[in-house]
Copies of this chain bind each other. A is one copy, B any other.
Amino acid sequence: NRNYAISVIPGDGIGKEVMPEGIRVLERAASLYGFTIEQTWQDFACCDYYAKHGQMMPDDWKAQIGNPDAIFFGAVGWPDTVPDHISLWGSLLQFRREYDQYVNLRPVRLMPGVPCPLVGREPGDIDFWVVRENTEGEYSSVGGKMFPGTPREVVIQETVMTRHGTDRVLRYAFELAATRDRKHVTSATKSNGIAITMPWWDERVEEMAKNYPTVTHDKYHIDILTAQFVLNPDRFDVVVASNLFGDILSDLGPACTGTIGVAPSGNINPDRTAPSLFEPVHGSAPDIAGKGIANPVGQIWSAAMMLEHLGEADAAAAIMRAVETVLAQPGLRTGDLKGKANTEQCGKAIADAL
Protein backbone atom coordinates (compact mmCIF):
# COMPACT_ATOMS: atom_id res chain seq x y z
CA ASN A 1 0.00 0.00 0.00
CA ARG A 2 1.77 3.12 -1.21
CA ASN A 3 -0.89 5.59 -0.18
CA TYR A 4 0.50 7.61 2.76
CA ALA A 5 -1.65 9.55 5.18
CA ILE A 6 0.31 12.65 6.23
CA SER A 7 -0.70 15.08 8.93
CA VAL A 8 0.51 18.53 7.85
CA ILE A 9 1.16 21.13 10.58
CA PRO A 10 2.73 24.34 9.31
CA GLY A 11 2.84 26.12 12.70
CA ASP A 12 4.16 29.67 13.03
CA GLY A 13 6.19 32.24 11.12
CA ILE A 14 8.24 30.90 8.29
CA GLY A 15 6.83 27.45 9.03
CA LYS A 16 3.78 28.61 7.08
CA GLU A 17 5.97 29.77 4.19
CA VAL A 18 8.26 26.80 3.76
CA MET A 19 5.56 24.16 4.24
CA PRO A 20 3.91 24.73 0.83
CA GLU A 21 7.29 24.15 -0.81
CA GLY A 22 7.79 20.96 1.16
CA ILE A 23 4.37 19.81 -0.01
CA ARG A 24 5.07 20.86 -3.59
CA VAL A 25 8.16 18.67 -3.74
CA LEU A 26 6.42 15.83 -1.95
CA GLU A 27 3.55 15.83 -4.45
CA ARG A 28 5.92 15.98 -7.40
CA ALA A 29 7.88 13.06 -5.98
CA ALA A 30 4.64 11.12 -5.45
CA SER A 31 3.52 11.53 -9.05
CA LEU A 32 6.98 10.65 -10.40
CA TYR A 33 7.54 7.64 -8.18
CA GLY A 34 4.03 6.24 -8.22
CA PHE A 35 2.82 6.67 -4.66
CA THR A 36 0.15 8.92 -3.22
CA ILE A 37 0.06 11.37 -0.35
CA GLU A 38 -3.17 12.02 1.49
CA GLN A 39 -2.82 15.28 3.42
CA THR A 40 -4.74 16.41 6.47
CA TRP A 41 -3.81 19.97 7.43
CA GLN A 42 -4.08 21.03 11.06
CA ASP A 43 -4.46 24.61 12.19
CA PHE A 44 -3.28 23.97 15.73
CA ALA A 45 0.20 23.76 17.31
CA CYS A 46 0.75 27.43 16.54
CA CYS A 47 0.45 30.73 18.36
CA ASP A 48 -2.53 31.88 16.26
CA TYR A 49 -4.42 28.96 17.71
CA TYR A 50 -3.23 29.95 21.17
CA ALA A 51 -4.51 33.50 20.64
CA LYS A 52 -8.00 32.16 19.95
CA HIS A 53 -8.14 29.28 22.42
CA GLY A 54 -5.67 30.00 25.19
CA GLN A 55 -3.84 26.77 24.49
CA MET A 56 -1.63 25.53 21.70
CA MET A 57 -3.70 22.50 20.77
CA PRO A 58 -7.27 21.26 21.31
CA ASP A 59 -7.79 18.81 24.13
CA ASP A 60 -8.54 16.07 21.65
CA TRP A 61 -5.53 16.75 19.42
CA LYS A 62 -4.61 13.11 19.36
CA ALA A 63 -8.03 12.11 18.08
CA GLN A 64 -7.93 14.89 15.49
CA ILE A 65 -4.55 13.80 14.21
CA GLY A 66 -5.72 10.19 14.17
CA ASN A 67 -3.20 7.64 13.05
CA PRO A 68 -1.29 9.07 10.09
CA ASP A 69 1.76 7.45 8.56
CA ALA A 70 3.79 10.52 9.52
CA ILE A 71 3.52 14.14 10.62
CA PHE A 72 5.05 16.83 8.45
CA PHE A 73 5.78 19.82 10.66
CA GLY A 74 6.93 23.41 9.96
CA ALA A 75 8.07 25.43 12.96
CA VAL A 76 6.46 26.66 16.15
CA GLY A 77 6.97 29.70 18.36
CA TRP A 78 6.15 33.40 18.36
CA PRO A 79 7.77 34.78 21.49
CA ASP A 80 6.18 38.23 21.13
CA THR A 81 2.80 36.76 21.93
CA VAL A 82 3.44 33.43 23.66
CA PRO A 83 6.52 32.64 25.76
CA ASP A 84 8.58 29.93 24.11
CA HIS A 85 8.35 27.47 26.95
CA ILE A 86 4.56 27.59 26.72
CA SER A 87 4.34 27.29 22.96
CA LEU A 88 6.90 24.51 22.76
CA TRP A 89 5.77 22.45 25.73
CA GLY A 90 2.21 22.80 24.45
CA SER A 91 3.01 21.44 21.01
CA LEU A 92 6.25 20.02 19.62
CA LEU A 93 7.59 18.72 22.93
CA GLN A 94 4.24 17.05 23.55
CA PHE A 95 4.33 15.26 20.21
CA ARG A 96 7.81 13.98 20.95
CA ARG A 97 6.72 12.54 24.28
CA GLU A 98 3.19 11.40 23.57
CA TYR A 99 4.16 9.72 20.32
CA ASP A 100 7.29 8.31 21.93
CA GLN A 101 9.50 9.79 19.20
CA TYR A 102 12.52 8.88 21.17
CA VAL A 103 15.12 9.51 18.49
CA ASN A 104 15.81 12.94 17.11
CA LEU A 105 17.89 12.28 14.03
CA ARG A 106 19.76 15.05 12.24
CA PRO A 107 22.32 14.87 9.45
CA VAL A 108 25.38 17.10 9.47
CA ARG A 109 26.49 17.25 5.86
CA LEU A 110 28.41 19.85 3.94
CA MET A 111 26.38 20.57 0.79
CA PRO A 112 27.48 22.14 -2.49
CA GLY A 113 26.51 25.80 -2.69
CA VAL A 114 26.40 26.27 1.06
CA PRO A 115 29.43 28.32 2.04
CA CYS A 116 31.24 26.56 4.87
CA PRO A 117 32.40 28.84 7.71
CA LEU A 118 35.30 26.48 8.44
CA VAL A 119 38.58 26.92 6.61
CA GLY A 120 39.40 24.41 3.91
CA ARG A 121 36.39 22.07 4.14
CA GLU A 122 34.80 20.73 0.93
CA PRO A 123 31.46 18.97 0.33
CA GLY A 124 32.07 15.35 1.22
CA ASP A 125 34.47 16.17 4.08
CA ILE A 126 31.74 16.45 6.68
CA ASP A 127 29.03 13.83 6.77
CA PHE A 128 27.72 12.45 10.01
CA TRP A 129 24.54 11.96 12.02
CA VAL A 130 23.54 13.32 15.41
CA VAL A 131 21.28 10.90 17.28
CA ARG A 132 19.60 12.76 20.12
CA GLU A 133 17.51 11.31 22.90
CA ASN A 134 14.20 13.07 22.44
CA THR A 135 11.81 12.32 25.30
CA GLU A 136 13.49 12.58 28.70
CA GLY A 137 16.76 13.71 30.30
CA GLU A 138 17.30 17.41 30.84
CA TYR A 139 13.94 18.32 29.28
CA SER A 140 11.83 17.35 32.24
CA SER A 141 8.97 19.24 33.76
CA VAL A 142 9.91 18.09 37.25
CA GLY A 143 11.07 20.67 39.75
CA GLY A 144 9.89 23.97 41.18
CA LYS A 145 10.64 27.03 43.25
CA MET A 146 11.12 27.63 46.92
CA PHE A 147 10.75 31.11 48.46
CA PRO A 148 9.62 32.43 45.05
CA GLY A 149 9.97 36.15 44.53
CA THR A 150 12.23 36.62 47.55
CA PRO A 151 15.97 36.98 47.95
CA ARG A 152 16.09 33.42 49.29
CA GLU A 153 14.61 32.05 46.05
CA VAL A 154 15.81 28.56 45.03
CA VAL A 155 14.83 27.03 41.70
CA ILE A 156 15.23 23.35 40.99
CA GLN A 157 14.87 21.38 37.81
CA GLU A 158 15.50 17.68 37.60
CA THR A 159 17.18 15.75 34.87
CA VAL A 160 15.56 12.33 34.68
CA MET A 161 17.19 9.50 32.75
CA THR A 162 15.91 5.95 32.63
CA ARG A 163 17.63 2.81 31.51
CA HIS A 164 14.67 2.15 29.24
CA GLY A 165 14.96 5.60 27.64
CA THR A 166 18.74 5.62 27.43
CA ASP A 167 19.36 2.11 26.15
CA ARG A 168 16.91 2.40 23.29
CA VAL A 169 18.48 5.54 21.86
CA LEU A 170 21.97 4.10 22.30
CA ARG A 171 20.84 0.97 20.49
CA TYR A 172 19.51 3.09 17.64
CA ALA A 173 22.86 4.87 17.36
CA PHE A 174 24.89 1.66 17.32
CA GLU A 175 22.51 0.06 14.81
CA LEU A 176 22.83 3.11 12.59
CA ALA A 177 26.62 3.08 12.86
CA ALA A 178 26.66 -0.62 11.97
CA THR A 179 25.08 0.22 8.58
CA ARG A 180 27.71 2.85 7.75
CA ASP A 181 31.20 2.63 6.29
CA ARG A 182 33.09 3.95 9.28
CA LYS A 183 30.99 2.18 11.94
CA HIS A 184 31.90 4.57 14.69
CA VAL A 185 29.86 5.98 17.57
CA THR A 186 30.90 9.05 19.56
CA SER A 187 29.11 9.58 22.85
CA ALA A 188 28.60 13.09 24.23
CA THR A 189 29.10 13.11 27.96
CA LYS A 190 29.95 15.41 30.83
CA SER A 191 30.75 12.83 33.42
CA ASN A 192 33.55 14.93 34.91
CA GLY A 193 31.12 17.67 36.02
CA ILE A 194 27.56 16.31 35.94
CA ALA A 195 28.44 13.62 38.39
CA ILE A 196 25.29 11.54 38.83
CA THR A 197 23.55 11.12 35.49
CA MET A 198 26.52 11.34 33.14
CA PRO A 199 28.86 8.71 34.65
CA TRP A 200 25.85 6.43 34.49
CA TRP A 201 25.28 7.40 30.83
CA ASP A 202 28.90 6.40 30.15
CA GLU A 203 28.26 3.00 31.73
CA ARG A 204 25.22 2.42 29.57
CA VAL A 205 27.28 3.27 26.47
CA GLU A 206 29.93 0.72 27.47
CA GLU A 207 27.25 -1.90 28.07
CA MET A 208 25.57 -1.28 24.74
CA ALA A 209 28.86 -1.25 22.85
CA LYS A 210 29.46 -4.86 23.89
CA ASN A 211 26.61 -5.91 21.60
CA TYR A 212 28.29 -4.34 18.57
CA PRO A 213 31.78 -5.77 18.22
CA THR A 214 32.16 -4.35 14.70
CA VAL A 215 31.36 -0.80 15.80
CA THR A 216 34.09 1.30 17.44
CA HIS A 217 33.23 3.99 19.93
CA ASP A 218 34.67 6.83 21.96
CA LYS A 219 33.39 9.65 24.14
CA TYR A 220 34.03 13.34 24.59
CA HIS A 221 32.87 15.72 27.27
CA ILE A 222 30.34 18.10 25.72
CA ASP A 223 32.56 21.16 26.15
CA ILE A 224 35.47 19.74 24.20
CA LEU A 225 33.10 17.98 21.82
CA THR A 226 31.70 21.33 20.66
CA ALA A 227 35.31 22.42 20.13
CA GLN A 228 35.95 19.26 18.07
CA PHE A 229 32.94 19.98 15.87
CA VAL A 230 34.75 23.15 14.81
CA LEU A 231 38.31 21.81 14.74
CA ASN A 232 37.84 18.24 13.45
CA PRO A 233 34.31 17.74 12.06
CA ASP A 234 35.60 15.07 9.68
CA ARG A 235 36.26 12.86 12.70
CA PHE A 236 32.61 11.96 13.34
CA ASP A 237 30.30 9.28 12.02
CA VAL A 238 27.41 8.85 14.47
CA VAL A 239 27.23 11.09 17.53
CA VAL A 240 24.83 10.02 20.26
CA ALA A 241 23.74 12.44 22.95
CA SER A 242 21.25 13.20 25.66
CA ASN A 243 18.30 15.49 24.94
CA LEU A 244 20.07 18.77 25.81
CA PHE A 245 23.49 17.84 24.47
CA GLY A 246 21.89 16.54 21.28
CA ASP A 247 19.94 19.77 20.94
CA ILE A 248 23.15 21.76 21.11
CA LEU A 249 25.16 19.50 18.80
CA SER A 250 22.45 19.36 16.19
CA ASP A 251 22.41 23.15 15.84
CA LEU A 252 26.17 23.49 16.07
CA GLY A 253 26.79 20.74 13.51
CA PRO A 254 24.65 22.36 10.81
CA ALA A 255 26.24 25.74 11.62
CA CYS A 256 29.68 24.21 11.02
CA THR A 257 28.45 23.13 7.60
CA GLY A 258 27.23 26.62 6.81
CA THR A 259 23.68 27.20 7.96
CA ILE A 260 20.91 25.72 9.99
CA GLY A 261 18.60 27.03 7.22
CA VAL A 262 18.90 23.84 5.19
CA ALA A 263 19.04 21.22 7.97
CA PRO A 264 16.24 18.68 8.46
CA SER A 265 15.31 16.49 11.36
CA GLY A 266 13.31 13.43 12.11
CA ASN A 267 11.57 12.89 15.43
CA ILE A 268 11.38 9.16 15.10
CA ASN A 269 9.48 6.44 16.86
CA PRO A 270 11.55 3.51 15.61
CA ASP A 271 9.11 0.97 17.02
CA ARG A 272 6.34 2.53 14.89
CA THR A 273 3.88 2.45 17.76
CA ALA A 274 2.90 6.04 16.85
CA PRO A 275 3.64 8.44 14.00
CA SER A 276 7.06 9.99 13.54
CA LEU A 277 7.41 13.72 12.88
CA PHE A 278 9.67 15.46 10.37
CA GLU A 279 10.58 19.14 10.59
CA PRO A 280 13.32 21.55 9.59
CA VAL A 281 15.89 22.36 12.28
CA HIS A 282 15.30 26.10 11.94
CA GLY A 283 12.58 27.74 13.98
CA SER A 284 9.78 30.12 13.05
CA ALA A 285 12.28 33.00 12.51
CA PRO A 286 10.07 35.98 13.43
CA ASP A 287 12.72 38.35 12.06
CA ILE A 288 12.22 37.26 8.46
CA ALA A 289 8.69 35.84 8.64
CA GLY A 290 6.10 37.24 6.24
CA LYS A 291 8.59 38.25 3.59
CA GLY A 292 8.57 35.09 1.51
CA ILE A 293 12.34 34.86 1.60
CA ALA A 294 12.88 31.92 3.94
CA ASN A 295 14.98 29.04 2.70
CA PRO A 296 12.67 26.05 2.01
CA VAL A 297 15.47 23.49 1.84
CA GLY A 298 15.18 22.44 5.50
CA GLN A 299 11.51 21.62 4.96
CA ILE A 300 12.18 19.85 1.66
CA TRP A 301 15.06 17.82 3.05
CA SER A 302 12.71 16.87 5.92
CA ALA A 303 10.29 15.58 3.28
CA ALA A 304 13.09 13.39 1.96
CA MET A 305 13.78 12.04 5.45
CA MET A 306 10.07 11.34 5.83
CA LEU A 307 9.92 9.42 2.56
CA GLU A 308 12.95 7.40 3.57
CA HIS A 309 11.15 6.52 6.80
CA LEU A 310 8.04 5.52 4.82
CA GLY A 311 10.08 3.18 2.66
CA GLU A 312 10.27 5.40 -0.44
CA ALA A 313 14.05 5.45 -0.54
CA ASP A 314 14.29 6.11 -4.30
CA ALA A 315 12.10 9.19 -4.11
CA ALA A 316 14.02 10.40 -1.07
CA ALA A 317 17.34 10.04 -2.88
CA ALA A 318 15.94 11.84 -5.92
CA ILE A 319 14.85 14.78 -3.76
CA MET A 320 18.33 15.01 -2.30
CA ARG A 321 19.85 15.04 -5.79
CA ALA A 322 17.43 17.80 -6.79
CA VAL A 323 18.33 19.79 -3.66
CA GLU A 324 22.03 19.49 -4.45
CA THR A 325 21.49 20.54 -8.06
CA VAL A 326 19.55 23.63 -7.04
CA LEU A 327 21.87 24.63 -4.19
CA ALA A 328 24.75 24.65 -6.63
CA GLN A 329 23.09 27.45 -8.65
CA PRO A 330 23.13 30.97 -7.16
CA GLY A 331 20.13 32.00 -9.22
CA LEU A 332 18.01 29.32 -7.58
CA ARG A 333 19.20 29.58 -3.97
CA THR A 334 17.60 31.91 -1.46
CA GLY A 335 19.19 35.11 -0.16
CA ASP A 336 20.56 33.61 3.05
CA LEU A 337 22.89 31.62 0.77
CA LYS A 338 23.68 34.70 -1.31
CA GLY A 339 21.25 33.50 -3.96
CA LYS A 340 18.57 35.40 -5.86
CA ALA A 341 15.47 33.25 -5.39
CA ASN A 342 12.60 33.70 -2.98
CA THR A 343 11.04 30.82 -1.05
CA GLU A 344 8.61 29.83 -3.80
CA GLN A 345 11.13 30.10 -6.63
CA CYS A 346 13.58 27.93 -4.77
CA GLY A 347 10.87 25.35 -3.97
CA LYS A 348 9.70 25.27 -7.59
CA ALA A 349 13.25 24.88 -8.83
CA ILE A 350 13.73 21.83 -6.64
CA ALA A 351 10.41 20.34 -7.76
CA ASP A 352 11.43 20.93 -11.39
CA ALA A 353 14.90 19.46 -10.86
CA LEU A 354 13.19 16.26 -9.72
Contact = CB atoms under 8 A, between A and B. Distances in A.
Interface stretch (A210-218, A245-253, A305-313): A245-253
Contacts of A223: 247-248, 250-252
A199 interface: yes
A326 to B, nearest CB: 22
Interface string A208-241: 0000000000000111101110110000000000
A195 B159 contact: no
Nearest to A143: B196
Nearest to A200: B155
B117 A83 contact: no
A119 interface: yes
Residue from the set A77, A150, A157, A244 with the largest chain B CB neighbour count within 10 Å: A157
A289 interface: no
A155 B145 contact: no
Given A157-B159, A223-B247, 17 more contacts: A85-B191, A85-B192, A85-B193, A89-B195, A139-B194, A141-B195, A143-B159, A155-B162, A156-B158, A156-B196, A157-B196, A190-B247, A193-B243, A222-B248, A223-B251, A227-B255, A230-B230
Interface in A83-97: 83-85, 87-89, 93
Nearest to A153: B163
A288 interface: no
Residue from the set A151, A194, A199, A256 with the largest chain B CB neighbour count within 10 Å: A194
A175 interface: no
B151 A164 contact: yes
Contacts of A158: 143, 156-159
A328 interface: no
Interface string A252-281: 101110011000000000000000000000
17 contacts: A84-B221, A85-B199, A93-B193, A117-B230, A119-B119, A141-B195, A151-B163, A153-B162, A154-B163, A155-B197, A156-B160, A159-B159, A193-B243, A223-B251, A227-B254, A227-B260, A230-B252
